[in-house]
Amino acid sequence: MALASTATPDASSPLSYPSTRRAEVVDDFFGTRVVDPYRWLEDDNSAETRAWVAAQNKLTFAYLEQIPQRAAIRERITKLWDFEKYGAPFKRGQRYFYSYNTGLQNQAVVYVTEDPKAKGRVLLDPNTLSKDGTIALSGMSLTEDGRLMAYSVSVAGSDWQTWKVRDVATGKDLPDEIRWSKASGASWRKDGSGFYYSRYEAPQQGGALTGVNNNHQLCYHRLGTPQSEDALVYQRPDQPEWYLGGSVTDDGRWLVISCGKGTNPESSVFLQDLSRPGSPVEPFLDRMDATYGVVDNEGDHFFVLTNQGAPRNRLVAIKKGQTDPARWTELIPQAKGREVLEAVSLVGERFVATWMRDAHSAVEFFDLKGKQTGSLELPALGTVGGFGGRREDPETFYTFGSFTYPGTIFRLDLKTGTSTVFREPKVAFKPADFEVKQVFYPSKDGTQVPMFLIHRKGLKLDGQNPTLLYGYGGFNVPLTPGFSVSRMVWLEMGGVYAMANLRGGGEYGLEWYDAGRKDKKQNVFDDFIAAAEWLITQKVTSTPKLAINGGSNGGLLVGACLTQRPDLFGAAVPEVGVMDMLRFHKFTLGWGWKSDYGSAETREGFEALMKYSPLHTLRPGVKYPPTLVTTGDHDDRVVPAHSHKFTATLQADQAGPAPVLTRIEVAAGHGAGKPTDKAIAERADVLAFLVKNLGMQP
């Protein structure tokens, strides 16, 4: 399904937008008065907000329905999406567990089998929990013997989790139920008597999706008892912004309590000795001065992945009570180059180390004394994950994927070191027709920034190629190669896909992250703008053919670049974005993002945020490019008010004829757990919007 590019269509007359009431709301920030006329849109429960959402959706879908290519795009995405999708299996007791989707099921199904090569039987099918597929599995944990499974579900994309317990043999749920859990896994005691989880207090009436969540609690649920009797294991009322998570070590002796303040990179670790009933929680690595992740232990010696003294991470061995870094044993040192030690697991009596090298994966093996014993050959430039299991396991499974290499599961024989394909998806496209390359371009200050380019082979550098530039640039999160059906459809239509690895991400460790947060956040926007300018200079594309896209913090990125350089882009699609930088901390877990953004609660923070806050840098009389803002009405991570207020302001300020539309998914959240049919519909609408506004014709 190829779409050739033609000249951008003549701009039609401006759309007639739904009326949005303005209210006299003014805040005073350190002597600066800031108007907020659409604050009423923050109330997701009000009839007026619901009517506004309905009116905006009516306009948007009427617009999208007029795009001739929309149906064909959705049909192609659906056809390409319809392939078997397996999750990597893992073993507990004598059973293996894995997820499986036949192709177009709204939610993946959990299977259990005693032979990993056999399909086995259904253990949990989330598709039976709701008619529209909006109840999703959000977490699961098996007892050591594989007899019981704790699992959590979320409704309509919300981050709230409800935990239940299922008997693996019978497939029946026990009476246990845990509510108001969030940002939590479940970790069973070695004997399967109960599990640890994290929760918040129940929200006030009407505030489940917007109310501030703080004072995280780590609790223990004993099997067969009501939640009201759960033991409070650890809390820090003196640190209301800490996240708390509990994990039982494989030997069953220690409860490892990990603590982090919001999304700060620094963390602390506390321990409880489960071999001594009633033992207190004790500090272990409690300085909150670096990242600390416990990989495994041998008695009271712990293997810890940390960036203490190593901004790109190292693996060290630390004995309990000997937490002075001078007494640590370094097992895997920080790399001499720019590589990041991204993850380490201990399986088959060896460390499996996953490195990130220029935003793609490499894997090496080390013995327990830190001597390198080999490496894993990967099939292409891409991303690996997995390598789970226990120290004594003879095998482990991992996934590998890239832009033109659908996610494939491999089995690694830990005795022979042999890696073989275990599950290989069959996707109806020809990877040989496409080319993937990595380039490096200079940002405004001269910093070299990597970027992946994917397109059909034989691309003509004539400046006429429709190009979608994607970025994120925040929270120490790297963007690495991965397979996407909707992206592949874009490429099949003749589009170019560019993914820029901006500062603020984790591609080169702590220093790269620090260079793109708080008072240095503008570097992220400069990197993205420089990527767009490079694509134009190199004649990959031109302004009328260039669209920008990003979600969440990436939605902020698109919003900020849209307001700073409205002349540079042919279209913009900010998704579930953080748009109101003065009030983000006032909703749900938004306060946790102060580590990246700072806060308008201080003069310095206010002055920095006011310079780039997308909502506050829009200006009347400016010609903005065609813009499609997307969000979900149940998004309780980045509440939809961000997108609503930005949309209303942009519609009011737009001086040109280009459309400003918002697509508000009903019964959907930030993205996790979104049913397949909703995901396909949304991606088809985004691509259809770009096809129309970048002037692509069949």
* pLDDT tens profile 652-665: 999 999 999 999 99
- pLDDT the model gives residue 6: 35
How does strand 660-665 pair with strand 627-632?
A: parallel
Give the tens place of pLDDT for each residue, 39-78. Answer: 999 999 899 999 999 999 999 999 999 999 999 999 999 9
Residue 8 has pLDDT above 50, yes or no: no
Instruction: Give me the mean pLDDT over the 172-201 stretch.
Output: 97
Across the range 418-433, mean pLDDT stands at 94
CA 23 to chain centre: 35
> Hey, what are 662's tokens?
């918002």
Q: In the predicted model, what is the mean pLDDT of the chain?
A: 95
The closest of 636, 645, 575, 656 to 615, measured between CA atoms, is: 645
| DSSP summary character for residue 263 | T
When the candidates are 3.30.465.10, 3.20.20.70, 3.90.550.10, 3.40.50.1820, the CATH number that belongs to 22-79+429-697 is: 3.40.50.1820
* Terminal alpha carbon distance of the chain: 8
Q: Of 552, 599, 613, 643, which is the active-site residue?
A: 552
The answer on pLDDT for 240 being more than 80 is yes
Q: With 70 as the cut, is the pLDDT of residue 546 above it?
A: yes
Query: H or E segment at 672?
Result: none
What does the pLDDT read at residue 252? 97
- Which amino acid is present at 200? Y
Which entry of 221, 455, 642, 670 is annotated as an active-site residue?
670
Length of the chain: 698
Q: List, for residues 501-534, the tens digit of each pLDDT value.
A: 999 999 999 999 999 999 999 999 999 999 999 9
User: For 667-678, what is each residue's pLDDT tens digit?
Assistant: 777 777 889 999
- Contacts of 224-233 spanning 24+ positions with Cβ under 8 A: 224/174, 224/175, 224/176, 225/176, 227/177, 227/178, 227/179, 230/178, 233/196, 233/257, 233/272, 233/281
Separation in Å, CA 9 to CA 5, 158, 303, 491, 693? 11, 39, 60, 21, 8
DSSP string, 435-455: EEEEEEEE-TTS-EEEEEEEE
Alpha carbons 289 and 140: distance in angstroms, whole number: 31
What is the pLDDT, as a whole number, of residue 666?
84
585 is catalytic: no
| pLDDT, average across residues 20-43 | 97
Predicted confidence at residue 670, as pLDDT, reads 74
Average pLDDT over residues 343-369: 97
Nearest-angstrom CA–CA distance, 365 and 348 = 11
Q: pTM for this one?
A: 0.95
Give yes or no: 402 in active site: no
Q: What percent of the chain has pLDDT over 90?
A: 93
Asked whether the predicted pLDDT for residue 208 surpasses 90, the reply is no
Rounded average pLDDT over 392-405: 96
Average pLDDT value for residue range 143-157? 96
Residues forming beta bridges with residue 421, ordered by sequence position: 410
410-435: average pLDDT: 94
